[in-house]
Amino acid sequence: MTQPKVRVRFAPSPTGYMHLGNARTAIYNWLYARHHGGSFVLRIEDTDRERSTQGAVEVIYEAMRWLGLDWDEGPFLQSERFELYRRRAEELVASGAAYRCWCTPEELEQRRQQALAEKRNPKYDGRCRDRKEPRPGVEPVIRFRTPDTGETVLEDRIQGRVVTPNEELDDLVLLRADGAPTYNFTVVVDDHEMGVTLVLRGADHLSNTFRQLHIYRAFGWEPPAFAHQSLILGPDRAKLSKRHGAVSVLQYRDEGYLPEALVNALVRCGWSHGDEEVFPLPRLIELFDLPAVGNAPAIFDFEKLRNKYNAEHIKLAPRERLAGLLCETLARRGDANLQADDPRLGLLVDGLRERSRTLLEMADGAKPLLAEEVAWDAAAVRKHLKSDAAEVLRALADRLEAAPSFGREAVLAALDGLAAERGAKLGKIAQPARVALLGTAVSPPIDVVMAVLGRDRVLARLRAGAERAAAG
Ligand code: GLU
């Protein structure tokens, strides 16, 4: 028998922002689909009309696009499929697998309290299972008839074999009195209708899976395979939450992270390949598969995301792309408004990428090179613009002025030439030059600084620096 084509899905509920746990589920499913040449379906689970918002749906699309997780089918909106769920629920009523229940919320609550007081399981007592006649004035719900005995076995592709006694499960509501379907029902109908072959999601849904398996059986449908990833924890091993740091995906974009770095960090939360840590996306697609996903709780390391993953992916990213991102970041922060094709952007990337852990740090490093005014650091001036520096700076300016062209190479040639002529170390010339050019002794490589400043500014600042040194 040929295996059906791999089809996986990401099925978020749009009730808030997209957090790191959601993102990891989306990434695992996307990678699984890409690795196996399958399809990736996006389904928005917006059946809870009170909690779902259009804004939250947009955030999901935006986060998916930013992460680069393109979907092959969808987005399907469950809110547009109520008629289908209603029809399917009626099928189960007709076959006897589900029934109408007229118990009112007040009655249910009262019976629940009583069961608790008598130390019995407070689950629905099955009172309406065989009731046929409606109760006037009460809109019924549709409930699923869960077997009272036996057990349900799940062969989970990550967690292994998990068994639940059926008596622990409730006769769950499939359709509420107002006709709105519930999560456990819509998820089964949709995963079946959409031909999903593997349900890969967070372990918080593990207990729901048993309920869902019963519904598959009642329809006579073959269930998909299931794989439940262990939850993500913070460094203190508590469930990941806001108090650990940013948990919203788009906040990472705003804080200067590259999407591939966040993807890398999240994939490594539960999946590994030997000792390798930094993975470009194509390599993840090539390597990612379920057997290497562990079932131990995974810890999200915020420090490592910045210091390792983001720093390394900044080193790996194409120059033009970083130039574009730097341009956007500078504009967004009001640091500088450059044209996207400004050649200074590429130079800044060359000079700053090795030392920047985020795009914000890169923008911090770029800002002084783009400023009209020099911001003088008094200590650097005192140290490097002493009177003997005046002559060095003048000589450097003369050399650069005489050079036939201006750019990183010409700058290096002038510095080397001057150092050789005087038998001086390069630093003896470069340090005062740095301070004359930027006001500080800490900066990207001097050739980059000069290339970004441009010939006229460099000559003017070197000569002004010489005067300041002579006067000092
Ligand atoms: N909509 C559910 C959630 O956001 C996920 C459902 C599923 O993956 O089965 O938690």
Of 187, 208, 215, the one to substitute when testing ligand 1's pocket (max ligand atoms within 8 A of C-beta) is: 187
Q: How many angstroms does the Cα of residue 298 sit away from the middle of ligand 1?
A: 19
- Of 308, 325, 346, which marks where a domain is finished? 308
What total of structural domains would you count in the chain?
3
Q: How many angstroms does the Cα of residue 45 sit away from the middle of ligand 1?
A: 7
pLDDT in tens, 123-135: 999 999 999 899 9
Cβ–Cβ < 8 Å for 203, 159: yes
Query: Are both 257 and 117 inside the same structural domain?
Result: no
In a domain, 1, yes or no: no
Q: How many angstroms does the Cα of residue 200 sit away from the middle of ligand 1?
A: 10
Query: Are both 74 and 126 inside the same structural domain?
Result: no
| Nearest of 375, 469, 468, 384 to residue 434 by alpha carbon | 384
In a domain, 321, yes or no: no
Residue 252, C-beta contacts closer than 8 angstroms, at least 6 positions apart: 246, 262
208 Cα nearest atom in ligand 1: 9
pLDDT of amino acid 442: 86
Using only C-alpha atoms, what is the Rg of the chain?
A: 32
Residue with tokens 């650990």: 244
Rounded percentage of the chain residues whose pLDDT exceeds 70: 99
Query: Are both 75 and 88 inside the same structural domain?
Result: no
E strands of 145-254, at which residues?
A: 151-156, 160-165, 173-175, 198-202, 225-229, 232-233
Q: How many angstroms does the Cα of residue 13 sit away from the middle of ligand 1?
A: 6
Residue 443 has pLDDT above 90, yes or no: no
pLDDT of amino acid 353: 97
Rounded percentage of the chain residues whose pLDDT exceeds 90: 93
What DSSP character marks residue 201? E
Query: Are both 85 and 74 inside the same structural domain?
Result: no
202 Cα nearest atom in ligand 1: 8
Query: Are both 119 and 167 inside the same structural domain?
Result: yes
pLDDT in tens, 354-411: 999 999 999 999 999 999 999 999 999 999 999 999 999 999 999 999 999 999 999 9
Residue 304 has pLDDT above 60, yes or no: yes
Q: How many angstroms does the Cα of residue 416 sit away from the middle of ligand 1?
A: 63
Residue 97 has pLDDT above 90, yes or no: yes
Residue 1 has pLDDT above 80, yes or no: no
pLDDT of amino acid 16: 86
pLDDT of amino acid 165: 97
Residue 18 has pLDDT above 80, yes or no: yes
Confidence of residue 242 (pLDDT cuts 50, 70, 90): confident
22 Cα nearest atom in ligand 1: 4
In a domain, 112, yes or no: yes
Query: How far does Cα 397 stand from its chain's mean position?
Result: 48
Minimal-distance CA residue to ligand 1 atom 6: 11
Interatomic CA distance for residues 461 and 413, integer angstroms: 19
Confidence of residue 241 (pLDDT cuts 50, 70, 90): confident
Q: What string of DSSP letters covers 143-172?
A: EE---SSSEEEEEETTTEEEEEEGGGS---
Query: Are both 402 and 383 inside the same structural domain?
Result: yes
Rounded to two decimals, the pTM is: 0.94
Tell me if the bond preceding 75 is cis, omega within 30° of 0.
Answer: yes
Of 52, 59, 205, 211, the one to substitute when testing ligand 1's pocket (max ligand atoms within 8 A of C-beta) is: 205
In a domain, 270, yes or no: yes
Query: Which residues line the pocket of ligand 1, CB cutoff 6 A?
Result: 11-13, 45, 187, 201, 205
Of 60, 183, 191, 228, the one to substitute when testing ligand 1's pocket (max ligand atoms within 8 A of C-beta) is: 183
- Of 266, 290, 308, which marks where a domain is finished? 308
- Which CATH number fits the domain that encloses residue 100? 3.40.50.620
Phi, psi of 407 (to 5 degrees): 175, -175
Interatomic CA distance for residues 107 and 103, integer angstroms: 6
Q: What's the whole-number average pLDDT of the chain? A: 96
Interatomic CA distance for residues 386 and 116, integer angstroms: 85
Tokens at residue 392, please?
A: 């060095």
In a domain, 336, yes or no: no
Residue with tokens 């070197």: 462
Query: How far does Cα 445 stand from its chain's mean position?
Result: 33
Q: How many angstroms does the Cα of residue 18 sit away from the middle of ligand 1?
A: 12
Query: Are both 29 and 131 inside the same structural domain?
Result: no
15 Cα nearest atom in ligand 1: 4
In a domain, 65, yes or no: yes
Q: How many angstroms does the Cα of residue 187 sit away from the middle of ligand 1?
A: 8
Q: Which residues are catalytic?
A: 242
Query: Are both 160 and 73 inside the same structural domain?
Result: no
Query: Are both 99 and 75 inside the same structural domain?
Result: no
Interatomic CA distance for residues 451 and 446, integer angstroms: 9
- Which CATH number fits the domain that encloses residue 419? 1.10.10.350
pLDDT of amino acid 472: 76
Interatomic CA distance for residues 260 and 263, integer angstroms: 5
Tokens at residue 240, please?
A: 């990941």
- Of 229, 247, 263, which marks where a domain is finished? 229
Residue 99, C-beta contacts closer than 8 angstroms, at least 6 positions apart: 93, 128, 129, 130, 131, 142, 143, 145
Q: Mean pLDDT across the stretch 81-87?
A: 98
The DSSP bridge partners found for residue 76 are: 43
Query: Are both 136 and 212 inside the same structural domain?
Result: yes
Residue 36 has pLDDT above 90, yes or no: yes
The DSSP bridge partners found for residue 263 are: none
In a domain, 378, yes or no: yes
pLDDT of amino acid 109: 95
Q: How far is CA 124 from CA 129, 217, 413, in A?
A: 10, 21, 84
Instruction: Show the domain range for 408.
Output: 373-472
In a domain, 271, yes or no: yes
201 Cα nearest atom in ligand 1: 8
Query: Are both 164 and 239 inside the same structural domain?
Result: no
Cβ–Cβ < 8 Å for 153, 217: no
Interatomic CA distance for residues 122 and 252, integer angstroms: 43
pLDDT of amino acid 446: 95
SS3 at position 378: helix
Confidence of residue 457 (pLDDT cuts 50, 70, 90): very high
